[in-house]
Amino acid sequence: MPFVLQHTDAGSKARAGQITTDHGAIETPIFMPVGTLGSVKGVHQHELKEDIQAQIILGNTYHLYLRPGLDVLRQAGGLHRFNGFDRPMLTDSGGFQVFSLAGIRKLSEKGCEFRSHIDGSKHFFTPEGVMDIERTIGADIMMAFDECPPGTASYDYAAKSLKLTHGWLERCVERYNETEPLYGYHQTLFPIVQGCVYPELRRESAHFAANLDAEGYAIGGLAVGEPAEQMYEMIEVVNEILPTDRPRYLMGVGTPVNILEAIERGVDMFDCVMPTRNGRNAMLFTAQGIMNMRNAKWATDFSPVDADAHSFVDTQYTKAYLHHLFKAKELLAMQIASIHNLAFYLWLVREARRQILADNFAAWKAQMIPRLSHRL
């Protein structure tokens, strides 16, 4: 999976590059819409490709394993054929779900026993089993199985967790190397750097992962309860060690401000449920600031949803109409907001890339941060 580092901003560590997969190229920095169950909630595939201009989306290993299940995905020929999205896809490993299921799971060196959130049935994930699941799903980029400790974890817990994650990672790599893709195209494996908010653990994990000579690397275990400044510090610590000629993926982050801060520190890839989840709850992100579309102030505002027109919905619908849809609890409100937010996120990383190539990212970011944080 070739990665070409095309340019580094003159005033920061922000990078522009290109990843090439068998399902197409990905220009970085990039934001990846989250399609947990093989579907980005409320958004058609043609809208993802044409209006939002998504170059890559995510699937969730834990959820796809439970529904529709591996037999269905194997018979379909993998997730690409099952959901009709013919561009690159990435699957996480279920590690974050292990974290979120703290009350109904048990961890050991062998793997993770958990109960389904759907019906309470018992299951067991091992590193080898997760690699087999991700082979069956068929994503272009697969994540290693890890534990994601909370941002408030003690040093002792974080150290024990890291030892577990590194043992699992070695087994993931071994299983990955002894298996082949099922559907005739290349799949790559990204190790995940953990270590909570402890610099020495982050350095240890980054060195451990870098020594595996993978085609890309992920930074996990951030935006899980720690302060934003600690997250930025950990990104800097890790990116001093990870190789510069491989893509770096910051998992599950985040707000538009988080994304620009991380780009400045050398991150290339992002995903987060925030654009769609917040959109379904009437929050819109724009280049002028954040809007709550349930607020009465929009009831008679007949201007476009977003005059900058990041997607077709921004000029086709007015703020007053979207306010009405949310107040009336119409499903279309959630769809419009989701499309807008995703289109805005994709615009943001494209514009960041343009500014990097022009050696103007640092100055542009300084102008954008106050605007992105402003409540309209």
> Angle, nearest 10°, between helix axes 361-373 and 331-357?
160
Three-class DSSP labels, the chain:
CCEEEEEECCCCCCEEEEEEECCEEEEECEEECECCCCCCCCCCHHHHHHHCCCCCEEECHHHHHHCCCHHHHHHHCCHHHHHCCCCCEEECCCHHHHHHCHHHEEECCCCEEEECCCCCCEEEECHHHHHHHHHHHCCCEEECCCCCCCCCCCHHHHHHHHHHHHHHHHHHHHHHHCCCCCCCCCCEEECEECCCCCHHHHHHHHHHHHCCCCCCEEECCCCCCCCHHHHHHHHHHHHCCCCCCCCEEECCECCHHHHHHHHHCCCCEEECCHHHHHHHCCEEEECCEEEECCCHHHCCCCCECCCCCCCHHHHHCEHHHHHHHHHCCCHHHHHHHHHHHHHHHHHHHHHHHHHHHCCCHHHHHHHHHHHHHCEC
Among residues 9, 51, 92, 306, which one is catalytic?
92
| Residue 213 falls in the annotated catalytic set | no
Cβ proximity of 189 and 166 under 8 Å: no
Cα 268 to its chain centre, rounded Å, is 11
Would you state the structure tokens that stand for residue 161, as one six-digit string? Answer: 């967790």
| Residue 308 falls in the annotated catalytic set | no
Interatomic CA distance for residues 121 and 274, integer angstroms: 29
For residue 210, give Cα distances in angstroms to 213, 215, 232, 315, 344.
6, 10, 20, 46, 33
Longest dimension (CA), the chain: 62
Among residues 9, 140, 271, 314, which one is catalytic?
271
Interatomic CA distance for residues 326 and 283, integer angstroms: 11
Question: Annotated active-site positions, please?
Answer: 92, 271
